[in-house]
A and B are shown apart, each in its own frame.
Chain A
Amino acid sequence: MTALKGLKVADFSWVGAGPRATKDLSDNGATVVKVESRKRLDLGRLSPPFANGDSKNPDASVFFCQVNTSKLSVTINLSDPEGQAVARRLCDWADVVVENFSPGYMARIGLDYATLSADRPELIMLSVSVAGRSGPMAGYRGYGNIAAAQSGHSALTGWPGGDPHLPPFAYGDVTAPLFASVGVMAALEHRDRTGLGCHLDVSQIESMVQVIPELLAKDDVVRMGNRDAVMAPHGAFPTEGPDRWIAIALEDPALWPALCEELGAPTLAMDTRFVTAEARKANENALEAEIAALTAGFERFALAEALRARGIAAAPVADGRDLCEARDLIDGGHFVAPEHPVIGPAKMPALAMRLHDTPWHMGPAPILGQHNDQVYYDILGMGRAEVESLIGKGALA
């Protein structure tokens, strides 16, 4: 038994933000049918890294596999009117329809919420976009850097006195799908009580605003680097080796002497510049310089372990290799390696929670059109002659 057993999802989403939301549903047992087309490949299938470096193979993208686990893939050509009619049948089968196309596209092919829900008020539809489907930016096409810029994240990321910063990943592609999957499940709760579905309109910008509410409430907020409003030291400090760092956060001020002792500088604890939490904040530049000079002689993992043993929050700053080797992640079940027909048993990041009675199950991502027969015949009840005719016309490409 999985938490979402029996839930039916028609998934028209592609690339990152939509597929991540439907992955939460499919890994928890929902039947998620991912609608794709060879005529217009999901850009996720073109995204590196690729198994064997085979960038021409639409089934070799590890990135795609990561965000599409446990789903079924069916090919339907949405640019063909007969393909649109098949897609409509799939929508009529579904409890939930998901899309993240450019605004207006679903309406142009007759699959918008108003049309689909006209005689199915119980339908739930999810749209994910950069700025939402209403407001002056409703038609906006854009990417993650726009969401970072317009949510305040870019302005608030970086060093004091420096420029705003844009991290090299699309954080809106992380936050928006999390909001989306919560929203879908809440809408199901609402439907169970009222019989009514709804259209959920999730914006990447808004989801990024939601996760920094305390910073956006004030005008005088500045870029703080790694500093905290209260804790000091609170930052990343160099350790042995190239680009090796340890993060230290002194949450309990009473542990300042223990920190100094572990760093081999017990007298630093009595330095009047640092003796109280307030003094440490007031002299933070000098404090960080002192700590950095001391940590530079330590191996990062050993120092983190020693500080933790004293009750001080500390952790090596991990890179990609560290993640693959982390005991917390391996033992915690963060990586699952479903057998994929093309890329093999590849490690995929799994869900962060463990449900004791209804555990999730992560299956492989589908190869393109892998479940065509299952969807055409079993789910949609189409006849063989109809399918062959539509294939011949290119409507199911």
Chain B
Amino acid sequence: MSLLSHIKVVELSDGLTDMGGRMLAEMGAEVAVVLPGDIRTDRARAYHHGKTVITGEPEDLRTLIAGADVLLDGRRRAQGDPEDYIALNPGLVHVVAWASMPGTPSCGAPTTDLTLMAQSGLMTIIGDPDRPPLKLPGEQAYALTGIQAATSAMLGLRARRQTGRGQRIDLSARQAATQANYREAISYEWTGRIGHRPGNQLIRGKSGVTLVYPCADGHVTWSMVDNPGMMRAIVAVMVEEGVAGELAEIDWANILVADTDQQVIRRWEGIVAAFFLSHTKAELEAWSVERGWGLSPIFDPAEVRDSAQLKARGLFVDVETPEGTRRYPGPLFTTSLPEDPPARWASDAIPARDFAWSRT
């Protein structure tokens, strides 16, 4: 994928821009990144492969920025205006990623991925009702901000095609993370309802149904929703196995699970749960695909990497690092264009004065 093979990017990383720089590099842009810490960590390698890691004095960086198309400027921990690099390079798209938009109370305040997730409202609805609010895995507020940094860079480049000029674009990590929470604010605004943590439950109507079930070798996700065809399909197999119990007698076309008493749903779910426990993920998935159950195995990291689907689409790639070969996600999406992957390497840092753009 070389959609951006003509684009040169300097990234001043502090977490907020990391995903954005990686996306631009993955699409073929030449990216030189300054990191706040050690490149030889799992996290740094995962987000910065395909970029050239540089170190140097401000003057060295200014020279690079003067020749760049895009500057991704992470200012999670910074206060005050950044240097006016557009005066140095009028064609530059200068994306400044802040903890919160300039002029707001949290701009410049100490911020991490966890506090951004807390502010997004997502943690209030993730997890179990009797335990603390829970975050998503990894660093999702940073990732979402990084993606929006790439969006900002692309908008700036598109605008430059029309105006011939670069511009500064301010990006709020708080807003980027909150955008992911697409229900809670409007739900409160329009209904006065405040969402809380439902656990592994899908709440519909008067009742909740279970979303996660253990099976013989792990877990699967499936739920007893109002889909008569799906219910008949799963019960048919349970009947074949002699484990359907009272489920075999239910006319699924004439019953609304959402309006069924919670205790009855739990009893039915218990029958399904026992059936799932006696089979493996692979067996259940095969039935689901063949019969249309809407079930999916829950993959652990090794299973994600070994997924037949992701292998067929070439998602994971080998990346050569000084510590050895690692496997990381590669292409952001597939395209109809001839394959032209970026270099799959991750290097140690080099002095900025030794770096020169290879793109014209």
Q: Which A residues form the contact surface with B (CB < 8 A)? A: 1-7, 16, 24, 28, 48-51, 62-63, 66-67, 113, 131-137, 142, 145-146, 148-159, 163-169, 171, 173-175, 178-183, 185-190, 192-193, 196, 198-203, 205-207, 209-219, 221, 223-226, 228, 231, 234-238, 243, 245-247, 249, 251, 307-308, 311-324, 326-329, 331-335, 346-350, 352-358
Contacts and interface: CB of A to CB of B under 8 A. Distances in A.
B101 to A, nearest CB: 3
Contacts of B111: 313, 315
6 contacts: A203-B313, A218-B42, A315-B116, A319-B184, A328-B172, A353-B172
Interface class of chain A by DSSP: mixed
A237 B114 CA distance: 12
A49 B43 contact: no
B19 to A, nearest CB: 7
B305 A216 contact: yes
A332 B138 contact: no
Nearest to A174: B180
A234 B132 CA distance: 12
Interface stretch (B237-245, B262-270, B293-301): B293-301
Given A134-B312, A155-B300, A320-B185, A3 B156 contact: yes
Interface stretch (B59-67, B159-167, B248-256, B271-279): B159-167
B163 A157 contact: no
B258 interface: no
Nearest to A133: B334
B353 interface: no
Given A313-B111, A354-B169, A5 B162 contact: yes
A356 B155 CA distance: 12
B119 A201 contact: no
A312 to B, nearest CB: 6
Top 3 closest pairs, chain A to chain B, by CB:
A332-B101, A320-B188, A247-B118
A308 B329 CA distance: 36
A198 B140 CA distance: 30
A63 B191 CA distance: 13
B194 A321 contact: yes
B159 to A, nearest CB: 4
B309 interface: yes
A200 B331 CA distance: 11
Interface in B133-160: 133-138, 140, 143-145, 147-148, 150-152, 154-159
A275 B333 CA distance: 47
A201 B335 contact: yes
B191 A49 contact: yes
Contacts of B163: 1, 357-358
A234 B115 CA distance: 10
B288 to A, nearest CB: 10
Contact of A353 (B43, B131, B152, B307): B152
Contact of B297 (A149, A210, A226): A149
Given A214-B42, A238-B132, A352-B179, 13 more contacts: A62-B189, A154-B221, A182-B332, A189-B158, A190-B4, A211-B140, A217-B301, A219-B302, A251-B112, A313-B112, A324-B189, A332-B172, A332-B174
